[in-house]
Amino acid sequence: MSSLIITNDNFESEVLQSSVPVLLDFWAPWCGPCKMVGPVIDEIAGEYSGKVKVGKINVDEDAALAEQHGITSIPTLILYKDGAPVNKKSGAAPKNDIIALFKNLI
C-alpha cells in the first residue's frame, strides 16, 4: 500500500476521524530532502498498513493545510492520534526515527 493523498477535502475523514494513528508528510515536488524521505514514507505505509495510516500533503497544492499546521520547513512529519497531533519532526530523517514517531502508539 502506498501513501494517501491528503487534501483539504478529505482531511477530516482520513485524519481527524481515523481509527488508527495517521502519519502526515508535508512535502513539495521541488524539495530535495522530501524526495529522499518520500520512498521511505511509502515503505512505512506498506509495512504498517492497517496499524498506521500514512498520508502526504503537497504544500504547494494545499497551502491552507500547511498554514493551519504551522509548516515553515519541509519535509515535516506530524503524527495524529484520535484526531489530534501528538508528535512532529521536521527535516529529512532515517526510517527508524520516523517509525519512532508512532511505534509506541500501535
Indicate whether 19 belongs to any domain. yes
Q: How much is the pLDDT for 52? A: 96
Report the chain's C-alpha Rg in angstroms.
12
Q: How much is the pLDDT for 3? A: 83
Cβ proximity of 83 and 13 under 8 Å: no
Indicate whether 105 belongs to any domain. no
pTM comes to 0.95
pLDDT at 1 > cutoff 70 = no
Indicate whether 32 belongs to any domain. yes
Q: How much is the pLDDT for 96? A: 97
73 is written with which cell numbers? 520547513
What residues are annotated to the active site?
31, 34
Q: What is the CATH number of the domain that holds 59?
A: 3.40.30.10
Indicate whether 43 belongs to any domain. yes
Per-residue pLDDT tens digits for 49-102: 999 999 999 999 999 999 999 999 999 999 999 999 999 999 999 999 999 999
**Which residue range is the domain that position 12 belongs to?**
4-100
Per-residue pLDDT tens digits for 23-52: 999 999 999 999 999 999 999 999 999 999
Indicate whether 28 belongs to any domain. yes
Indicate whether 21 belongs to any domain. yes
Indicate whether 38 belongs to any domain. yes
Distance CA 62, CA 39 (A): 21
Indicate whether 42 belongs to any domain. yes
- Domains held by the chain: number: 1
